Amino acid sequence: MLKTLSSLASRILRPRPSAVGVKVPRISDIHYNEVLKSEADIQDAVRLLHWEHPTRTKTWDLLKAAHAIIARTNPENARILDAGCVGSPILEVLHGHGYRDLWGCDFTENDLPQVPGLQFVKRDLTKTEFPAGTFDAVTCLSVVEHGVPLSAFFGEMHRLLKPSGHLLISVDYNEPKINTDDVDRRHTFGLPWQVFSRAEAEDLIKKAETHGFRLMEPVRWEQGAEPPVTWNDKRYTFLFLAFQKNESAASP
């Protein structure tokens, strides 16, 4: 099976201070499930956090994921996993909000989150070996577009989460479809790279639903005229999806 390594590891070379002091504000009208439309949306996220992700465009989805967790869990007892944690500051942000039971999982130990007491395991994201019902929320930002088998991934995430737990993911996205077959894997750290089209993203959602998840809200598919993300000479955007585990559903 292909290594399910976080794409953030391949995009971030970051001597940088910890994000532990970053504060996520209350946002009454936030909508999670949507496409990143423009540079202005990134600017708004930077302004709200008074902070910029080492990969600036990722400030947008980090804000959404952190906000969803902070609004729905209790930092005194919530256990959080960042699946594909290398190069990802979200656990640092959550630590600054009082969360202490913080876990990271990835295939490499390079550039781990700078979190006091971080509990890290070097595991396959589809076979983590954690006990069932371990986590209140799982984040997985810019990971699954790098060769992660979706059915196995959603099955494992469903198993890991407590009833009504939350799975918060982002993926590289563009409509119309962008072909990445011409991108040399030496530039994607040996990993496959997919930019999801709308049809592929809808298929991803169906796979999640098949494995006992539901979207927290409808998806706003509107996309801006100018894709705000550039990597490997491809212009595209991001899609954020917030799922909740069905209370009674068992994953196939």
Number of domains in the chain: 1
Looking at the domain assignment, is residue 39 inside a domain?
A: yes
Looking at the domain assignment, is residue 62 inside a domain?
A: yes
> Angle CA(133)–CA(84)–CA(57) in degrees, nearest 5?
125
Dihedral sign of CA atoms 206, 208, 213, 216 in order: negative
Looking at the domain assignment, is residue 243 inside a domain?
A: no
Looking at the domain assignment, is residue 6 inside a domain?
A: no
CB 158 within 8 A of CB 212: yes
pTM: 0.92
**Letter for the amino acid at 10?**
S
User: CA-to-CA distance for 152 and 139, rounded, in angstroms?
Assistant: 16
Dihedral sign of CA atoms 57, 83, 155, 167 in order: negative
Residue span of the structural domain in which 195 resides: 29-229
Please give the pLDDT value at position 87.
85
Looking at the domain assignment, is residue 19 inside a domain?
A: no
Question: What would the two tokens of residue 146 be?
Answer: 């790098």
User: CA-to-CA distance for 89 and 141, rounded, in angstroms?
Assistant: 11
Looking at the domain assignment, is residue 10 inside a domain?
A: no
pLDDT digits (tens), the chain, 252 positions: 434 444 444 344 445 678 999 999 999 999 999 999 999 999 999 999 999 999 999 999 999 999 999 999 999 999 999 999 988 999 999 999 999 999 999 988 888 898 988 999 999 999 999 999 999 999 999 999 999 999 999 999 999 999 999 999 999 999 999 999 999 998 887 899 999 999 999 999 999 999 999 999 999 999 999 999 999 999 999 999 999 999 865 666
Give the C-alpha distances (Å, rounded to integers) separating 201 from 35, 60, 97, 173, 186: 11, 19, 32, 8, 26
Looking at the domain assignment, is residue 245 inside a domain?
A: no
Please give the pLDDT value at position 44.
99
Please give the pLDDT value at position 251.
60
The string of DSSP codes covering 75-90 is TTT-EEEEET-TT--H
User: CA-to-CA distance for 60 and 52, rounded, in angstroms?
Assistant: 9
| CA nearest to 242, candidates 66, 37, 6 | 66
What CATH number does residue 95 fall under?
Answer: 3.40.50.150
Looking at the domain assignment, is residue 247 inside a domain?
A: no
**Letter for the amino acid at 84?**
G
